[in-house]
């Protein structure tokens, strides 16, 4: 899982470096697939439940599951969320981040910053003996204190030999509740935070999920191992 996570992390880093005005989301997807395969891994998302691409690339009010396209050209001021995974020798690494295309608004930057901070607050609670709700509450309380809302329709999850495993890891909840964390567990923590309301809807393509009110959304994710010495990030580049 360390190697799967490392490959996914490096692929996400490559994708983020490509985010710029004038670049299509298709180009980013193509290069990330090429990189993942060059490492002896395969893209976790491609053909997963029919998903057609290597990465989910979601722009501005798209929350998650945006399908890459030659017709989707990144514009200056956009924020671009990229979510991808690598499957290596039987195990998955799953990671996501939101990137700025050129200069973005202060509000968009703050949304990105708070979402990333929320992820790190959640990771800090991923200790053996704690509960899932401790992670959930840490994410929710930080995001909402900043005036943002937490998407409730989609959650984090266990990850290992399968891309999505038990337990679910919501980004909202009550501290001290839920599944107890034990050393050896591997989970994907992934706050999806909206600038406006938390409500989302899925477009006609069956995948692309957008904010109902058209507000911006940001997404950050790491695959994390629970160990006796604390949380270990498996998807660092």
Name residue, tokens 């998955």: 92
List, for residues 101-157, the tens digit of each pLDDT value.
999 999 999 999 999 999 999 999 999 999 999 999 999 999 999 999 999 999 999
CA 24 to chain centre: 20
pLDDT given at position 89: 98
List, for residues 49-82, the tens digit of each pLDDT value.
999 999 999 999 999 999 999 999 999 999 999 9
pLDDT given at position 181: 98
The answer to whether 80 touches 24, Cβ cutoff 8 Å, is: no
CA-nearest of 43, 64, 39, 62 to 54 is 43
CA distance 20 to 32: 15
Instruction: Name the residue range of residue 42's domain.
Output: 2-233
CA distance 36 to 22: 24
Give whole-number Cα distances, 112 to 60, 68, 109, 224, in Å.
11, 21, 5, 20
Other Cβ atoms closer than 10 A to 221: 25
Helical (H) or strand (E) element with 59:
strand 55-59
Question: What CATH number should be reported for the domain holding residue 72?
Answer: 3.90.230.10
Give whole-number Cα distances, 51 to 55, 156, 216, in Å.
9, 18, 23
* Tally of domains in the chain: 1
pLDDT band per the 50, 70, 90 thresholds, residue 7: very high
List, for residues 18-28, the tens digit of each pLDDT value.
999 999 999 99
Q: What is the DSSP string of 123-187?
A: HHT--TT-BHHHHHHHHHHHHHHTT-EE--SS-EEE-SSSSSEEEEE-SS--TT-SSBP-TT-EE
Other Cβ atoms closer than 10 A to 39: 16
Classify residue 72 by its DSSP letter: -
CA distance 188 to 60: 23
């Amino acid at each position: 899982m360390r190697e799967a996570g490392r490959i996914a992390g490096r692929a996400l880093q490559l994708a983020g470096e490509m985010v710029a005005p004038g670049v299509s989301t298709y180009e980013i997807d193509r290069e990330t697939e090429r990189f993942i395969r060059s490492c002896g891994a395969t893209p976790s998302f491609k053909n997963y439940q029919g998903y057609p691409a290597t990465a989910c690339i979601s722009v501005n009010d798209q929350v998650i599951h945006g399908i890459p396209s030659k017709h989707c050209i990144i514009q200056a001021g956009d924020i671009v969320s990229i979510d991808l995974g690598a499957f290596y020798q039987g195990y998955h690494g799953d990671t996501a981040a939101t990137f700025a295309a050129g200069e973005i608004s202060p509000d968009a930057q703050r949304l990105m910053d708070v979402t990333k901070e929320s992820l790190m607050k959640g990771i800090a609670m991923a200790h053996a003996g704690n509960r899932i709700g401790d992670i959930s509450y840490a994410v929710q309380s930080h995001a909402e204190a900043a005036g943002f809302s937490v998407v409730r329709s989609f959650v984090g999850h266990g990850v290992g030999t399968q891309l999505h495993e038990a337990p679910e890891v919501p980004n909202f909840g009550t501290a001290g509740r839920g599944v107890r964390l034990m050393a050896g567990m591997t989970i994907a923590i992934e706050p999806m935070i909206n600038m406006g309301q938390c409500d989302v809807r899925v477009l006609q393509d069956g995948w692309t999920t957008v904010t109902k009110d058209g507000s911006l959304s940001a997404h950050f994710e790491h695959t994390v191992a629970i160990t006796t010495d604390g949380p270990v990030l498996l998807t660092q580049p």
